[in-house]
Amino acid sequence: MSSTTVTTRTTVALSTAQKVGLVLCALYSLSNIPSFLFPADSGDDPGPPLSILVVDTLLGVVGLVAAILAWRGNRVAHRIAAGAIIVITLTGLPAFFVDVPMAVKALVGFGVVLTVVIVVLMFSGPRRLPAAD
């Protein structure tokens, strides 16, 4: 006697806000993929270490693939894409605590705000109509 297990994959229909969030997530992830190609000089304006740039590149690839899978309705990939861009953003936060040009701090601040907007859009649910009394 043999038993078989059937697994069902849960997919969800995406709202317009979720689609916008996923597109922004994919673009943000895509922009981080070439990070390791531009290592910082050890001159006057040192940038992030090469290890952080490699991590950002890997997370960019993970985020991009997960965003594509989430677009197709995979709920787990939705969460992985959000986690990838959150960790990418967290790797930039030390710029606020070291001596770097103000333009770099502004860019990191913009990245933080952009990440918050992307995650809110990605996890926004469909609008609910008020209950009829």
Q: Indicate whether 1 belongs to any domain.
A: no
Burial 69-106 (b: 16+ CB within 10 A, else e): bbbeebeebbebbbebbeebbebbeebeeeebeeebee
The yes-or-no verdict on residue 10 having pLDDT over 60 is no
Residues 10, 13: Cα–Cα separation, whole Å: 10
- Our count of domains for the chain comes to 1
Could you tell me the pLDDT band of residue 90, with boundaries at 50, 70 and 90?
very high
Q: Indicate whether 85 belongs to any domain.
A: yes
Burial 44-65 (b: 16+ CB within 10 A, else e): eeebbeeebbebbbbbbebbbb
Question: What is the domain extent for residue 51?
Answer: 16-38+47-122
Tens of pLDDT, residues 31-77: 999 988 887 766 665 678 888 889 999 999 999 999 999 999 888 99
Could you tell me the pLDDT band of residue 129, with boundaries at 50, 70 and 90?
low
The yes-or-no verdict on residue 110 having pLDDT over 70 is yes
Cβ 113 vs Cβ 121: under 8 Å: no
